Amino acid sequence: MALSKLPFLLILFCSFDLSSSAFTSLARGYSLSAEKPAQDIIVSQNGIFSAGFFEIGDNAYCFAVWYTEKPNSQNIPTVVWTANRDQPVNGKYSKLSLSHAGNLELVDAGRIQTWSSRTESHEHVELYLNDDGNLVLHELQGTVLWQSFDSPTDTLLPGQLLIRQTLLVSGRSESNRSSGFYNLLFDSDNVLSLLYNGPDVSSSYWPVPWLVSWQAGRFTYNSSRVAVLNPLGEFSSSDNYTIRTSDYGLALQRRLTLDSDGNLRVYSRDLSQRKWYVSWQAIADSCNIHGICGPNSVCSFDQKNGRKCSCLPWYRVKNQNDWSYGCEPAFTLTCNKSESTFLELQNVELYGYDNNFVKNHTYSNCETLCIEDCNCKGFQYSFDEGSGQFLCYTKIQLRNGEHSPQLTGVTYLRVPRAKSFSSSRESVKKDDHICDVQIYREYIKKHVNRFSYLFLWFAIALGAFEMVCILVVWCFLMRTNPKSGIDQHGYQLVKLGFRKFSYSELKEATKGFSQEIGRGAGGIVYRGLLSDQRLVAIKKLNEAKEGEDEFLAEVSTIGRLNHMNLIEMWGYCAEGKHRLLVYEYMENGSLADCLSLNNTLDWSKMYNIALGTARGLAYLHEECLEWILHCDIKPQNILLDSNYEPKVSDFGLSKLLNRDNLKDSKFSMIRGTRGYMAPEWIFNLPITSKVDVYSYGVVLLEMITGRTATADIQAVNGVDTYNGRLKTSVREKRRVASWAEKIVDPPIGTDSDVNKMKVLVAVALKCVEEDKDARPTMSQVVEMLQCHDTDP
Ligand SMILES: *[C@@H]1O[C@H](CO)[C@@H](O)[C@H](O)[C@H]1NC(C)=O
Ligand SMILES: *[C@@H]1O[C@H](CO)[C@@H](O)[C@H](O)[C@H]1NC(C)=O
Ligand SMILES: *[C@@H]1O[C@H](CO)[C@@H](O)[C@H](O)[C@H]1NC(C)=O
Ligand SMILES: *[C@@H]1O[C@H](CO)[C@@H](O)[C@H](O)[C@H]1NC(C)=O
Ligand SMILES: *[C@@H]1O[C@H](CO)[C@@H](O)[C@H](O)[C@H]1NC(C)=O
């Protein structure tokens, strides 16, 4: 045929690119080459769309259709269709040819056919790009052999039908256009839906999965299964789902795209702006999109910062650059029941994968159900207002996790019991050196010079002559070892009333470390009696910093802090591997001891303890030039002197402990004690002084109720859990009239006691707000408590 021998119609499109010529069609026997991606382009008659080779990576090309006009924000055109998204071709020798047999073939360099239209014709055929963006292979009489509109990739153009046989498949990521995990299609109920089709699992997330189709406004009995976006901005589907874009009615360029984040959006563009904007999207809260953060993670969303993924506690991220891989456990769990424990996560729900669903179970029944099943990874136990019952769901997989203040569900995560929370622990927090002490070295608080007291004491006890001897010996020691930086430090510290002790001295003082009085972060505390008859508490650190200089620098900063509600450090010992801290001794032990002994505290003492602790913390947070976070407020760390004046201990410890050996793993630690930890730790949110406020609030709740944050839970199966219920129960009881008597532990005496108790409850509940911004600062707490402190 003579017609088929016609050369290409060469047309110069001056309006788009002066340097490149483009074709309006491709005839039989001709081809477009990937070697000339700028010239071998077919352009629609109106110039809006172009088809050709599109470079998607280094020397990797796809045959695609795109909007000729690039968005002004970037240099990459907006692609609307791709022939070979999962099999890009080489930039050399690859071409798209229309064979004499009428087949459109994409052939890679090695003569491998990567894609074809699978058509055949003996007539004259031509490939055209229509004005609507449809790439069409048709015979001269008009019979359409193949069209790109029949095999959409991730985009529907106005007028393009989504039908029974077709679906949209999202891209893998914003930069990777190969097939991703999200599909838009008609399900078997004729409902247009979004499906997460991940590597391991698949689930539908739109319309809202827990609604029946008709509740979601979908009609299931129209089996024609067709959906289309019209040019004015109305998208309608045969299941009676219709939406209009926010700019409906305007003549704009529009496209409906299933983005790589699983959200379906309509984009609009006013050519004068050249920039696409979203005029409609299917899902407002992107955390509702399944699989978005991968397994074993939680998603949180806010309007300002968008979506954020973080691993569940005890899990670690698999691939920081691609959250679709989610997190993996950083522990191994055996089937042994006594090795598991549960971590309570407030406002967290994990959708799906419920192995069991039981109504009206008690908490302990629900927990037993999970712990008896080796495959149970955790459970959700929530109160359902509708039925007035507790619902229990046990989970065999932890997926589609979401954290939001609006979610009322509580998830209990199964974790190993082995490691203790009060020491260090792995987590996803990537940069939590925030808790490290940061204060100015130069800063020396106006300070009672303890050395002057010491001096007096020595002078009286030993006499002036002996004192001179000591000084002489000391000067001699200094001179024999003039280069030792440690002695230099030692000297300066002595000036501040701070001492270096020898290990043997402390060993003797503690009678060979025989009288243990407590265990806390980083070490064991022993009671000791110094040779000068002072009672001391000596803490033996078990994982302290190796370097003596470094240790000393930190000790000296902590030693300089001085406040009546902070425990005083009298000295330290750094010898060989031994690192010890010497503190003043507190006669009445810790608040924890008092609480467990019941009734040793009345309301007035309790109030004073709350106020004093708040003052100590406020000083740490605000009065130091740079704030210090304590990060481990709990009754064990609030010590009481002979007058029940509280003193906060263990502050600044994180600086002294040796965490460097954990640096090669990607994870550092959550600090704190289960039961007292603020939600920020768990959800990988910024750590501020409000974490201490939260822990302080929990301590107040314990004081008020006489229950410890963990003890009431420990009763169940001998398995302890994360806190939260203490708070919830106080909140709930407070709603009832005459609540006061129901929640308090020390019996209320006078009216003034009632008032104090009410103030404490109010302050406590403010401190334990989930949202850190809703919590007061420590100095605001001091103010609130002070203005109700009517007692002299
Ligand atoms: C794009 O994603 C696919 C599928 O996950 C992967 O095989 C391919 O390597 C990715 N391409 C790039 C350039 O990252
Ligand atoms: C089914 O949907 C199509 C397309 O929306 C519509 O034209 C048709 O009238 C519907 N049929 C019924 C029975 O509702
Ligand atoms: C479709 O929706 C419209 C309005 O939303 C409603 O009036 C109509 O009854 C629905 N049709 C069907 C078949 O459900
Ligand atoms: C389960 O673990 C506990 C504590 O680790 C151990 O004492 C017990 O022997 C174990 N039981 C079995 C059946 O392995
Ligand atoms: C829930 O269980 C309790 C006892 O276990 C029973 O008294 C109560 O009637 C049950 N409630 C419902 C709604 O089934």
**Gap between the Cα atoms of 455 and 453, Å rounded:** 5
What pLDDT does 228 receive?
A: 96
In this model, does residue 676 exceed pLDDT 60? yes
Which atom of ligand 1 has the smallest separation from the CA of 60?
13
3-class SS shares of the chain: helix, strand, coil, % to 5: 25, 30, 45
Q: Extract the runs of DSSP E, i.e. beta strands, from 535-577.
A: 535-541, 569-575
**Gap between the Cα atoms of 120 and 387, Å rounded:** 63
What pLDDT does 210 receive?
A: 82
Q: Which of 119, 151, 183 is the last residue of a domain?
A: 151
Q: By alpha-carbon position, which residue is closest to atom 13 of ligand 4? A: 336
108 is catalytic: no
Span 590-611, pLDDT tens digits: 888 887 776 667 888 889 999 9
What pLDDT does 599 receive?
A: 60
What pLDDT does 457 receive?
A: 40
Residue 393 and residue 518 share a domain? no
Residue 608 and residue 579 share a domain? no
| pTM, 2 dp | 0.61
Q: By alpha-carbon position, which residue is closest to atom 3 of ligand 2? A: 238
Catalytic residue among 154, 261, 632, 753: 632
**Gap between the Cα atoms of 226 and 192, Å rounded:** 9
Q: 368: CA distance to ligand 5 center in Å? A: 18
Cβ–Cβ contacts within 10 Å for residue 758, how many?
16
**Is 334 near ligand 4, meaning CB less than 6 Å away?**
no
What pLDDT does 282 receive?
A: 92
The set of protein residues with a Cβ atom below 6 angstroms from ligand 1 is 57, 172, 176, 178
Average pLDDT, the chain: 77
Give the chain's domain count: 5
Residue 637 and residue 764 share a domain? yes
Is 58 within the bounds of a domain?
A: yes
Q: By alpha-carbon position, which residue is closest to atom 9 of ligand 5? A: 360
Residue 262 and residue 389 share a domain? no
72 forms beta bridges with: none
**CA atoms lying within 13 Å on the CB side of residue 733:** 20
The set of protein residues with a Cβ atom below 6 angstroms from ligand 3 is 219, 240
Nearest by Cα to 286 from 183, 205, 370, 173 = 205
Q: How far is CA 343 from CA 115, 614, 716, 768, in A?
A: 52, 28, 13, 18
Q: β-strands 401-403, 297-302: how paired? A: parallel
* 8 Å CB contact between 197 and 183: yes
**Gap between the Cα atoms of 193 and 204, Å rounded:** 7
**CA atoms lying within 13 Å on the CB side of residue 310:** 22
Q: How far is CA 388 from CA 101, 384, 385, in A?
A: 71, 6, 5
Which atom of ligand 5 has the smallest separation from the CA of 389?
13
**Gap between the Cα atoms of 570 and 559, Å rounded:** 7
Rounded average pLDDT over 708-715: 45
Q: β-strands 535-541, 523-529: how paired? A: antiparallel
Span 292-345, pLDDT tens digits: 889 999 988 876 777 888 888 888 888 877 888 889 888 887 788 888 888 888
Q: 392: CA distance to ligand 5 center in Å? A: 14
What pLDDT does 449 receive?
A: 37
Is 468 within the bounds of a domain?
A: no
Rounded average pLDDT over 510-515: 88
Q: 237: CA distance to ligand 3 center in Å? A: 12
Span 384-423, pLDDT tens digits: 888 888 889 999 999 999 988 888 888 999 988 765 433 2
What pLDDT does 241 receive?
A: 93
Peptide bond into 416 cis (omega under 30): no
What pLDDT does 672 receive?
A: 62
- Residue 553, SS3? helix
Residue 160 and residue 146 share a domain? no
In this model, does residue 482 exceed pLDDT 70? no
Rounded average pLDDT over 649-662: 56
Q: By alpha-carbon position, which residue is closest to atom 10 of ligand 1? A: 176
Q: From the annotation, which residues make up the binding site for ATP?
A: 540
Span 685-703, pLDDT tens digits: 777 788 889 989 989 988 8
In this model, does residue 790 exceed pLDDT 60? no
* 8 Å CB contact between 56 and 177: yes
Which atom of ligand 3 has the smallest separation from the CA of 219?
14
What pLDDT does 624 receive?
A: 52
Span 573-590, pLDDT tens digits: 888 888 888 888 888 888
Mutate to test the pocket of ligand 3, among 218, 236, 238, 240 (most ligand atoms within 8 A of CB): 240
Per DSSP, 626 falls in state S
Which atom of ligand 2 has the smallest separation from the CA of 219?
14
Span 99-118, pLDDT tens digits: 999 999 999 987 889 999 99
What pLDDT does 732 receive?
A: 64
**Percent of the chain clearing pLDDT 90 (strictly above):** 27
Residue 652 and residue 761 share a domain? yes
Residue 286 and residue 162 share a domain? yes
Is 360 within the bounds of a domain?
A: yes
Span 518-540, pLDDT tens digits: 776 677 889 898 887 888 889 88
Q: 290: CA distance to ligand 3 center in Å? A: 28
Residue 776 and residue 655 share a domain? yes
**CA atoms lying within 13 Å on the CB side of residue 617:** 32
Residue 111 and residue 13 share a domain? yes
Is 366 within the bounds of a domain?
A: yes
What pLDDT does 727 receive?
A: 66
Cβ–Cβ contacts within 10 Å for residue 737, how many?
5
Q: What is the CA radius of gyration of the chain?
A: 35
Q: By alpha-carbon position, which residue is closest to atom 3 of ligand 3? A: 240
Per DSSP, 681 falls in state H
**Gap between the Cα atoms of 696 and 614, Å rounded:** 8
Q: Which amino acid does the sequence have at 168?
A: L
What pLDDT does 75 receive?
A: 80
Span 135-159, pLDDT tens digits: 999 998 889 999 999 999 999 999 9
**Gap between the Cα atoms of 216 and 287, Å rounded:** 19
CATH code of the domain containing 544: 3.30.200.20
Residue 634 and residue 575 share a domain? no
Residue 600 and residue 521 share a domain? no
Q: Which pairs from 97-105 meet CB under 8 Å and 24+ separation? A: 97/30, 97/31, 97/32, 98/26, 98/27, 98/28, 98/29, 98/30, 98/31, 98/125, 98/126, 98/127, 98/137, 99/28, 99/29, 100/28, 100/29, 102/28, 102/137, 102/145, 104/137, 104/146
What pLDDT does 544 receive?
A: 67
In this model, does residue 47 exceed pLDDT 50? yes
Rounded average pLDDT over 702-719: 53
* 8 Å CB contact between 579 and 566: no
CATH code of the domain containing 648: 1.10.510.10
